[in-house]
Amino acid sequence: MFKIVKREQFSPVTYLWKLEAPDIAKAARPGHFVIVRHGDGGERVPLTIADFDRAAGTITLVIQAVGKTTTALMGLQEGEYLDDLAGPLGHARHFDQVKKVVCVGGGLGVAPTYPQLRQYKQNGAYTISIVGFRSKDLMFWIDRFQTESDELIIATDDGSTGVKGLVTGPLQEVLDRNPDIDEVLAIGPAIMMKACVAVTKPRNIKTIVSLNPIMVDGTGMCGGCRVTVGGKMAFACVDGPEFDGLQVDFDELLARAKRFDPAERESMRLLHERCHLPRQSS
């Protein structure tokens, strides 16, 4: 069992866990993910490691309650224990020596962007960060990004703070005034990563994306996380989760993500009825 040594609520649907997991913390690298499970018959949920502290033996996860399991897990409090935690899984990120990089994080994707931003900075790169949220109330970790970024741009859909609009607007502007960008990292919803690639691809700028499709076992056996990259089949859990964004078939990825929408809606309906939870607006 894995103790929750810290819990923080960022918004009504976004929360943080810091977990005691010394073996995982010792092996964790930027880009790795874990699979969590709690309760008898609990669903296995893949979550990217947002931070790790080898000295303290802890890892940090930032979670958004978007489905039945992540909504139920939100009830676990500091001092309680998570039943199962497997990892680190996937390939750790390999960092090329780059002089200037743009790190784009959207929504929950801001969390896994952070350890990579930190590594870029430690490697001596000039770092430009763009973080996007639906509104100011949903923002988190701005202080961390300020520490590791030479330039930081905040975008909100509603214009409540920073630039009004999507992250692609600031990304386009940054690339226009920085023709020497070596690499772009984009982590967030699949539709956001697709939009970022649409900006970088005409310029042929190396663009790394982190894919988080539906997974079951995390070992490549179930096939649920199958993606097409460069015209070839890959599995996000064992071949990724990070890929060359210019080669990802995002249309296929987005279509496959909708397969289980009816089942997920029914699961949420049953959860709300059983626990009398307020329904979340879609």
Domain boundaries, the chain: 2-89, 100-257
What pLDDT is attached to residue 66? Answer: 80
Domain 2-89 has CATH 2.30.30.790: no
Measure the N-to-C terminal CA separation of the chain; round to a whole number of Å.
33
Overall fold of domain 100-257: Rossmann fold (3.40.50)
What pLDDT is attached to residue 256? Answer: 80
Specify the long-range contacts of residues 171-178, CB closer than 8 Å, at least 24 apart.
Answer: 171/102, 171/104, 171/130, 171/196, 171/199, 171/200, 172/199, 174/102, 174/128, 174/130, 175/102, 175/199, 175/200, 175/203, 175/205, 178/100, 178/102, 178/128
For every one of its 282 residues, what pLDDT tens digit does the chain have, with 9 covering 90 and above? Answer: 899 999 999 988 899 999 999 999 999 999 999 999 998 877 888 899 999 999 999 999 999 888 778 888 889 999 999 999 998 998 888 888 899 999 999 999 999 999 999 999 999 999 999 999 999 999 999 999 999 999 999 999 999 999 999 999 999 999 999 999 999 999 999 999 999 999 999 999 999 999 987 777 777 777 778 899 999 999 888 888 899 999 999 999 888 877 766 666 666 676 666 655 555 544
- pTM for the complete prediction? 0.86
What pLDDT is attached to residue 263? Answer: 64
Indicate the residue type of 173: E
